[in-house]
Amino acid sequence: MRLPDDWRTAAPGPRIPTVDEVDFRALYQKTKYVVETADGWSLMMTRYRPVKQPFPQPLFGEVLLLVHGFSQNRHAWTSGQFVKNLLFFGVDIHILELRGHGKSSLELQRERAERFRRPLPPDLDYDWDIDSYFLYDLPAAVSGVKRITRRDKIFYCGHSMGGMLGYGYAGIHDDFEGLITIGSPADLGRGFLMLRALAMSAPAVGGLVDMTLAGLNVQGRVGHMGRSLLARGIKAVSRELGKRLEPPIDHRDTRFNYVPVDTWLKYAEKQLARAEGHPLYERLAARINRLSNPARVSAKDIRWLLREGGEREPRKVLEQFARWIRRGEMVCYRTDYDFKRGFSKIKIPMAIIFGDMDPLASVESTRSVYRAAQSEYLLWRPVKGNSHIELTMGHDIRQICYDIKNLIEYARTHRVRPPVLPRIR
């Protein structure tokens, strides 16, 4: 083949920009919509609908539901550039905020109850558990996304607890075209001795806090250090529940019903703000939060997440997690559905992504779902140098988003398979 005489000076094709060169706001149209659960909650969904760009977007219009983890909200996904990287590929993103988290707040329930003249949810006062997320919140969100996008199946990505809910859901439903879990253990507490110790002591600690909040005297001799540790441990809870502890009080019924994780995280953010720029910053950050590696995430992003991304979590959620750890199980107690028995029924493409420094989701704690799943496409990958939190907002999210891209592309190419023709003898 003969090349044209001016082939050396011929104009190349249009240059494809990098994700860093594209304005985030140009990639999407942001909307919000509400989905209703079967037990009376209104949950807020945030949608980032992709805008067509002049450069290739290989996943344009593919629908992905994002679900956050324990005591988090939508900012688990938006604190860094996770959403931007997926929008760069053209993904249609829907973010669920579980009951009592973010915009799915208690205030929203009161507002809609007054507007539509309907009763408040019976568990409004932090009386829900993990079963509530699994049986009501997740089905409502999946159904809502399918209705809005007119899709029969969608892709699902969950971080931490959100991924654990995804494991269970995928074992009994066929709504997912692909499943991605990020930092989501299948055997919570395995390989993490400190977490197992906390789970074993949870009933005693809970009872002790109840007694303290009720104004009862703890019998026995407690040294100064013991009293100090106890006071520090319950100070935030007492402050959060101060209004409830005003007289008159029936001490027999006084119990703490949620853990003020939001208060603790905001306190941690203030300490990090004081230390920022100091040589001891990384050491302090690691001490305050073992679940993040400050070397793999910007101080600005982690402080934003601590300040805006924390939520109160009900006591019942913690108690259910502790029970799972003590018994080595993942069970929906209201229906007796065993998540682990459902692992072998997962046949859709699945990616199990975790940090190699993550004490919660590790090789040990994710191995069982990897071995049991029957997926043809099955990725099981640690991300080097990452712990738990920075997986959705740190310096390595680009490679994680490419893992998601590869899974969706695989699922799309295998979406319609030709029929198997009988052999002709």
Q: Which domains does the chain have, with CATH numbers?
A: 19-187+330-413 (3.40.50.1820), 193-314 (no CATH)
Whether the upstream peptide bond of residue 119 has omega within 30° of 0, thus cis, is no
The answer to whether the CB of 47 falls within 8 A of the CB of 33 is: yes
Enumerate the H helices of 189-314 as residue ranges.
193-213, 224-240, 261-275, 281-288, 299-308
Longest CA span, the chain: 96
- pTM of the full predicted structure? 0.85
Q: What is the pLDDT of residue 334?
A: 98
- State how far the alpha carbon of 103 is from the alpha carbons of 73, 100, 398, in Å: 8, 8, 27
Q: What is the pLDDT of residue 186?
A: 98
Q: What is the pLDDT of residue 219?
A: 38
Which residues make beta-bridge pairs with 375? none
Enumerate the H helices of 133-187 as residue ranges.
138-149, 161-170
Q: What is the pLDDT of residue 216?
A: 40
The letter for the amino acid at 133 is: Y
pLDDT digits (tens, 9 = 90+) for 234-287: 454 445 444 444 444 444 445 679 999 999 889 888 877 776 666 655 565 555
Three-state helix/strand/coil letters over 93-104? EEEECCCCCCCC
Regions in the chain scoring below 50 on pLDDT:
7, 216-231, 234, 236-238, 240-253, 419-425
Q: What is the pLDDT of residue 292?
A: 77
- What is the Cα–Cα distance from 30 to 114, expressed in whole angstroms? 27
